[in-house]
Amino acid sequence: MSQRYLYLHGFQSGPQSLKARETAAWLQQHPAAGQLLCPQLSPYPAEAMRQLQLLVEQQQPTALIGSSLGGFYATALAERYRLPAVLINPAIWPERELQHFLGPLHNPYTGEHYRLGREHMQQLVAMRPARLTPARYYLLLGTADAVLDWREAVRHYAGARQLVRNGDDHRLQAWPQLLPGVARFVDDYYRRQASAAG
């Protein structure tokens, strides 16, 4: 079953990040699995979400992949548009985790200079879904993540499919090997949906 994946990169990242390129390479090698959309997201949360909502409505992806902050965005989109989402070490409380980065910043992937303020943290708070649908999610977590606490994600997405890799890190070194399972999860999600509707 061919899918249309929307990949959401993390904070201070972009479509040229290693995981994004690995995802694109795998789909090129397995064209029957689907296609990839991977936009450069605005560094400002409200702008990034407007950009993503427009893209979802115009391009109609069938699945989301979100890494770190992208996992937080993917969760908001999954609930709004009822899409399956694969989350790689997702940010759970980005308004807390990004406090250390308030002020002037430089994105090494794009060269963009910008400034994060407290108003941007409030934008993140405002987009958190009131409730989650566990069946939509597949979490991929590393216990050696030095950026985010994987145990928070385990609790936050209780009931969702989860794979916790002992010793893997925030980048998730095993990502290329996990991509076939990602494709199976998305295909199975739509088979379950079709079965429930029938």
Residue 73: CATH number of its domain:
3.40.50.1820
User: Domain total for the chain?
Assistant: 1
Dump pLDDT digits (tens) for 119-174. Answer: 999 999 999 999 999 999 999 999 999 999 999 999 999 999 999 999 999 999 99
Indicate the helix (H) or strand (E) that contains 184: helix 175-197
Q: Please indicate, yes or no, whether the overall pTM of this predicted structure exceeds 0.85.
A: yes
**Per-residue exposure over 161-174, b if at least 16 CB sit within 10 Å of its own CB, e if not:** bbeebeebebbbee
Q: Which domain holds residue 49?
A: 3-197
Q: What is the pLDDT of residues 20-37, one digit of tens each?
A: 999 999 999 999 999 999
